[in-house]
Amino acid sequence: MGTSGLWLLPFVAFVLSIAILPLFVPGWWSRPGFQAIVALLAALPVVVGRPEGLGRVAHEYVAFVLLLGSLYVVASGIRLTGDVPAHPATNTGLLLLGGILASIIGTTGASILLIGLVLEVNSERKNVSHTVLFFILVVSNVGGCLTPLGDPPLFLGYLAGVPFFWTLRLVEEWAVAIGLLLGVYYLVERREHARETPVALTADETTRRPIRVTGRWNFLLLAGIVFATAFLGSPFREAVYLACAAASFLLTPRGQREEVGFSWHPILEVAILFAGIFVAMEPALVVLRERAPALGLTRPWQFFWATGSLSAWLDNAPTYAAFLAVARGLGRPEVAGVPAKILEAISTGAVFFGAMTYIGNGPNFLVRSIAVSRGVAMPSFFGYAARAAAVLLPLFLILTLVFFRG
């Protein structure tokens, strides 16, 4: 007997809550206690009604949270400071650097590491919001598609059996997306740079401070996290995560985390919300696997757009897991039970479309909040979505025609 479709309800209700509640009750939603209550309400029906499999879920959840937490702690121990002229080529180079680092230390780690430097370099200029927007597109999302470290959906795939280095085959999609995004950004940035006042440009050219890096030991700890994820199994992998995070606190200069605006709130929010997601999605994934043929999704382009469309408005990690389950119901188990080309479509759809809204991926709101705190006037929720869509939808059509027509 198949699993009842009613088990989809806790999962669907929870991801909708993640999307809607921050918009309508932002004060309540910002409180960890309120988030914990919502997560508990979503998980409770599964804990009571379908406790089988929760041991495996708990193991995957711990590995997931420890990876994100260790990357967050270690990356926040590195501080980049300095101010050079914010020429279009300079800003484009910083975004390219972030797009590369995103797959090495994660979109969250790369965003935390570089957003402060980008804002400092552009501090004398008035037209900065477009740079932050493209920073979110490139560094906080698209850049993270090459390794399971890059973005939470891909780490879920790694836990589900996708080989660690398999995602490197997405390098062509990564290169096309990064190249086109940076090309568009450079053209926009040249226009915005030309619109700056003479006073702002003079201040930008004459204010110079050398680029400095403090907390260098943390780069070795980041390398340790990468090594553990790629080559160690549980529980040794998780032990290295904890050891690297603890060492970061010991080796990072005193007070530096406060200088980069370190707070436990973002990672606490991730831990709380994903506890609910991991539990609530377990029976939902069973339902999707059992009913995959009836959904009519069989071709790569269909998975690319279906996964992506939901990832834009819901959290992209559970969306990835849901469509991975659907793909496993199709047969042809080439990679972790999924046809290889369809897995490429699901992976890029989840990662790339996460840039479409502030809620599509965790670092998006984090970068926006940091920029606003530095005095940058960022677009509203729907203002950002409109601007991102104008840039990304043509890109996604190109990727569909080039890579996912089959």
Q: Tell me if 156 sits within 8 A of 196, measured CB to CB.
A: no
Residue 300 identity? P
List, for residues 244-257, the tens digit of each pLDDT value: 999 998 888 777 77
List, for residues 33-57, the tens digit of each pLDDT value: 999 999 999 899 888 887 777 888 8
> What is the model's pTM?
0.80
Rounded to 10 degrees, the C-alpha dihedral 266/272/277/278 comes to: 110
Tokens of 225: 């996290």
pLDDT of residue 261: 64
pLDDT of residue 55: 83
Q: How confident is the model at residue 93 (pLDDT cuts 50, 70, 90)?
A: very high
**In terms of pLDDT, which residue wins out, 207 or 394?**
394
pLDDT of residue 163: 92
Helix (H, G, I), strand (E, B) or coil at 334: coil
Q: Is the pLDDT of residue 263 over 50?
A: yes
pLDDT of residue 1: 44
Q: How confident is the model at residue 94 (pLDDT cuts 50, 70, 90)?
A: very high
List, for residues 323-338, the tens digit of each pLDDT value: 888 888 777 778 888 8
Q: How confident is the model at residue 260 (pLDDT cuts 50, 70, 90)?
A: low
pLDDT of residue 173: 97
Show Cβ contacts of residue 183 under 8 Å, excluding neighbours closer than 6 positions: none
Q: How confident is the model at residue 3 (pLDDT cuts 50, 70, 90)?
A: low
Q: How confident is the model at residue 281 (pLDDT cuts 50, 70, 90)?
A: confident
pLDDT of residue 368: 83
Mean pLDDT of 200-228: 87
List, for residues 142-185, the tens digit of each pLDDT value: 999 999 988 888 988 998 889 989 999 999 999 999 999 999 99
Give the integer Cα–Cα distance in Å for 139 and 142: 7
Q: Tell me if 213 sits within 8 A of 78, measured CB to CB.
A: yes
